[in-house]
Structure 1
Amino acid sequence: MDLTSRDEVRGARGLAGGPGRRAALAVAAVLLVAGCGGTTPTEPTAEPPTTSPGASPDESPTAEPTEPSEETTVPAYFMVDTRAGLRLAREHQVATGSDPVAAAVEAMIAGSVDPDYTTSWSPATEVLSVTTTDGSAVVDLSEEARTANVGSEGAALMVQQLVYTVTEAMDDPGATVDLLIEGAPAGELWGAVVWDGAQARTDPLGVRVLVQIDEPLEGATVSSPLTVSGDAAVFEANLTWRVLDASGAEVQSGFTMTAEGQTFAPYEFQVELEPGTWTVVVDEGDPSGGEAGGEPMTDSRTITVE
């Protein structure tokens, strides 16, 4: 029984005690009510927010900013069929990442933007690591790199495809490239070649397409006049070029020269174009008058002029 209940019982018993006792009991009851519930309870106050040491009370924690992926242009080599068989063609691609050499290898495996180029590397292949030092590189690929349906010519060119891609991205044509698969020496590959140590570039005149466009990139949107540049190894440094419209009809033609003949050397020319979609074709010509056999080696880029 609580305190209030006991007082109520006593009061009931003392009613016969008269007015004085009833007044005393009334005063006691008032005091009891005042002590037990006469005030309004205050609301609990929230704990002040905690801050890190040294921070201002009105500062709120913020997430660390995420660094954007670095965007760069990397070179990758692909295969193209020519009058001299399979050859390597270079394509520059926009890639992201902090390691341009690894990004170039990933681009080579993923495939080209230019529909005229191809690759025999399995697209499921992952680049596990690329380690470069002065004059050498070691590329470690996943097990899928062993899968390729090529003959001996294609297998030998796949070796050079990787070597040219890595050394171009290193900006060191004289560097060597070794290949690991899942951390172990590559050894026999594709039933046709053995990668048994560091490999170097072979003579570009024997493995590269003799006419190469570097700029503009395939599918680029450009302004006029259009600048076309690249390198080529052609007779007496002479190159011919054509511009085709969307139907394939020739609308312009001309010629230009490389800096040096019979070896890979740079060239550049400009052409005025109206807004629209155009294909620029550069070729080595045919100084033999058809006696050399096969179609002249060419390269092309399809672009849009604003």
Structure 2
Amino acid sequence: MKSSFTKPTMRGTLVMMAIVLGLMLTVSACQPKANSTDSNHAVNAGNEPQDVGEPYWFWTEKGYVVAKEGNRWLITAYETSAGGEPHKQAGWFTVNEKTRLQSETGRHLDPEAIPIGSRVQIAAAGEIAESYPVQGAADEIVRLGVQNDPADEQAPDRTHIAEADAVRIALQHSQEQGLIGPWYIVKTVFDEADYQWLVQLAGGEDAAQVETVVTDAASGKVIEKPVAENAAFRVYEPQANAVIGGKLTVRGDARVFEGAFGWRLEDGHFVLEEGHVMAEAGAPEWGSFRFEVELDRATNPVVMLVLYEASAKDGSPRHELMIPLQADPSIMESVDGIPYE
């Protein structure tokens, strides 16, 4: 019985080879590339990221430049989850000649045009060292809120400070007050009614320290939060329950008739020291004041600083503001037969 297969012709052989070759190319194209990743980085045999295509965007939300050390920039980001849990990121990034610095429209910016306080988006180049803060190199940094140059930054009025200025002032003030880093910008708000910037910061690795710095948008001066206040006085120093002994500095603002007011230090047994002060301005304006007191003895661990305005009618104290303080043990003593408690 003869076979149904016949000897193929040369033309048939060529057609068959073309079909097989086409199938092989199709299958090869469908296979994943070796050592590829979903973050647009190829990885070589040594598992070292190679920068190809679009860079890996490290930040999921906006971040802020909060410190600079030479060509190393500390950039942090802070957001709150739906459940109220804080999520934070912090990284030291090296900025070199390969780093692209630009505005949102793609205009080139010099490093000086992205100062501390700037809101940015960053793309990391290569590996990120898993320290805290993380460390790496910056592939691209885009300054947000700036279209062409820093003069275009979104601000309530170009003649007044912008968001980056308010953040920078808040960072400096918080660091001077002892807020430890890394520093995170929780939020910034412009209060149009009072013409103030409110910058809320968190500090420390766990971001547990949180404070709000209020800055006058016209002058750029920090508006301090008083330790104690009433209708006539705002006191910024000393802090309540501060331990005192020796020299005590009292600083604040007063809104009293002709700027004149009195003060005293008492410990429940005696008036230890007292005096009168003139503020720089009288009511209805607020006038700043500062004076120092030498305290070298107390008969009670609790000492009260009292500021008051004397009544124009009979001289009696009015608008008394009291700030509790703690006497240093070194100045505790018995006075006139009364032992300290």
Pair in the same fold by TM > 0.5? no
TM bucket, shorter chain: 0.3 to 0.5
Structure of greater Rg: 1
More helix by share: 1
Relative contact order, higher structure (CA 8 A, sep 6+): 1
Q: Under a length normalisation based on structure 1, what TM-score does the superposition of the two structures give? A: 0.36
More strand by share: 2
Q: Under a length normalisation based on structure 2, what TM-score does the superposition of the two structures give? A: 0.33
